[in-house]
Amino acid sequence: MATTIDFIGEIHKLIAPYQEQAARHQAVLDRYYDSNGVWIPSKYTDRGEQVPYEYEDYKEDLDAEAYDARNMLDEVMGRLRELAGPPVAGQVFTLSVAGTERHDGEAPYLFVVNGEDIGDARRRLETLPFFREWCEEQQSWDEPDADPDIEFLDEARDSHPGLPVAGAYNDLRREQAVLAEAENVVADLAARLPEQEG
């Protein structure tokens, strides 16, 4: 039986080594520049050898094809990260939720998110705008002010770790990642604000 490919998970596996290598290479290059980004020709290596002046010439005269390939790879990796979003903590879970159409015999909706366990995944799902919009659409026509008519299905049978084996599903990990990244930015900005005396 064919298994579902976790494209987002696979993309992150491809991006991670590239990002680690790029950061490592940049850290090496940064040692040859001062805090203003100016080349330091008298800089010494870790072994006490003076860095040759030719280093700068070599760096600037990189093979054009290799340089273009690196730029293309940078662009591809940037686009892949944009499409996949940053990695989200936890493991992948499929959550099966039946809406109003279950009364007509329709299959439940499948949502994919990351979480520490299935309960955590459900809590995270419930905070996502896409899922909240979907819930609002699951209200009764007769009682528009009632709670959404949804049902989380059996965790052992219908909701489980990993991706769905087959069929359509809503992969919300990118939305989850973007929101987590935004929260981190807000927290970082808040930490930099001076404390107000009250």
| Length of the chain counted residue by residue | 198
CA-wise closest residue to 6 among 182, 164, 179: 164
Contact 6, 92 (CB under 8 A): yes
Contact 74, 88 (CB under 8 A): no
Residues of the chain under the 50 pLDDT cut? 1-2, 54, 58, 62-63
